[in-house]
């Protein structure tokens, strides 16, 4: 399995440890990993070049496009962010901003419709679930077929101090999700919600006279045929 993992932090703390719990569950794997902000340090400047002119004209394309290529190569996309003030880290959000042009409303990458996504987050108390949900929302709008979320309140000073019973529960849950991912590898198909959203966006693209770059993409993919 080809796995691309993006860490919303550069240190190997609780979220990294949680990610390893999952990665250990996949035997035959090739992992490509990115740590933020090192891998993509710049904020989106809001120039809209990606959306109107093309992603290669983004001022930060040199950093962003290698990540995009790795996402396209992956069977499983893993996004892992600690919860900072009730949501993802700023650096993770910064990367996601750079990928707006790949939303279903613009130029979704067709291979996303056959991929699986896993979103991980840790918090001390509150916010990990919300963090995972927000990031998962982005994967949904990229068109990722099957998305799993695991937002985990650590409830301890750090990973090594999680009470044994709780750790067993976490491991059980992680194993269960990993099993489902392995089973679906190469066989993920978009669910009803994604298909519905795609149809709505298709209607929009049929009447799109404001962004030729997006419309060309939909025509080239053959998505606007009746
Ligand atoms: C700037 C900052 C903000 C945080 N905000 C929250 C929060 O809103 N809720 C929470 O429960 N924990 C919060 N935490 C704690 C972290 O989410 C928690 O320690 C997490 O497991 C850290 O993961 P890491 O070791 O991968 O960095 C915050 C930590 C930092 C540094």
Task: Judge if the beta carbon of residue 123 lies within 6 A of ligand 1.
Answer: yes
Q: What confidence tier does 201 reach under pLDDT thresholds 50, 70, 90?
A: very high
Say if CB 117 and CB 139 are below 8 A apart: yes
35 - beta bridge partners? 7
**Structure-token pair, residue 199:** 């149809």
User: Is 33 part of any domain?
Assistant: yes
Q: Is the CB of 127 under 6 A from ligand 1?
A: yes
CA torsion through residues 206, 138, 150, 76, sign: positive
CATH (domain of 105): 3.40.50.360
Ligand 1 centre from 87 Cα, in Å? Answer: 9
Q: Does residue 124's CB lie within 6 angstroms of at least one atom of ligand 1?
A: yes
Whole-model pTM? Answer: 0.97
| Crossing angle (nearest 10°) for helices 192-206 and 212-220 | 120
Give the pLDDT score at 203.
97
| pLDDT tens for each residue of 48-106 | 999 999 999 999 999 999 999 999 999 999 999 999 999 999 999 999 999 999 999 99
Give the chain's mean pLDDT. Answer: 97
Q: Is the pLDDT of residue 34 over 90?
A: yes
Q: What is the pLDDT of residue 222?
A: 98
Which percentage of the chain shows pLDDT scores above 90?
98
pLDDT of residue 176: 97
Total tally of structural domains belonging to the chain: 1
Is 90 exceeded by the pLDDT of residue 226?
A: no
Domain-located, residue 10: yes
Among 19, 36, 124, the mutation site with the greatest number of ligand 1 atoms within 8 A of its Cβ is 124
> Which of 7, 8, 82 has most ligand 1 atoms within 8 Å of CB, for mutation?
82
What's the domain range around 26?
Answer: 2-189
Let me know if residue 111 belongs to a domain: yes
Rounded distance, CA 87 to CA 127, Å? 6
> Is the CB of 14 within 6 Å of ligand 1?
yes
pLDDT (average), residues 203-214: 96
Under the banding of pLDDT at 50, 70 and 90, the label for residue 16 is very high
Residue 218 lies in a domain: no
Is the C-beta atom of 151 inside 6 A of ligand 1? Answer: no
């Amino acid at each position: 399995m080809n796995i691309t993992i993006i860490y919303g932090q550069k240190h190997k703390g609780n979220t990294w440890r949680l990610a390893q719990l999952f990665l250990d569950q996949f035997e035959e794997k090739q992992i490509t990993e990115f740590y933020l902000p090192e891998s993509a340090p710049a904020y989106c400047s809001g120039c809209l070049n990606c959306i109107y002119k093309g992603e290669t004209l983004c001022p930060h394309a040199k950093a962003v496009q290698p990540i995009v290529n790795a996402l396209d190569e992956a069977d499983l996309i893993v996004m892992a962010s600690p919860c900072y003030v009730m949501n993802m880290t700023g650096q993770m959000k910064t990367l996601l901003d750079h990928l707006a042009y790949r939303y279903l409303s613009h130029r979704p990458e067709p291979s996303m419709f056959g991929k699986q996504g896993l979103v991980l987050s840790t918090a001390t108390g509150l916010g990990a679930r919300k963090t995972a949900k927000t990031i998962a929302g982005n994967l949904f709008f990229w068109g990722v077929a099957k998305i799993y979320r695991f937002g985990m309140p650590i409830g301890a000073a750090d990973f090594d101090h999680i009470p044994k019973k709780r750790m067993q529960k976490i491991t059980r849950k992680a194993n269960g999700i990993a099993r489902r991912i392995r089973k679906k590898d190469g066989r993920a198909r978009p669910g009803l919600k994604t298909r519905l959203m795609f149809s709505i966006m298709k209607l929009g693209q049929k009447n799109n006279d404001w962004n030729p770059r997006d419309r060309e993409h939909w025509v080239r993919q053959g998505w606007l045929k009746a």
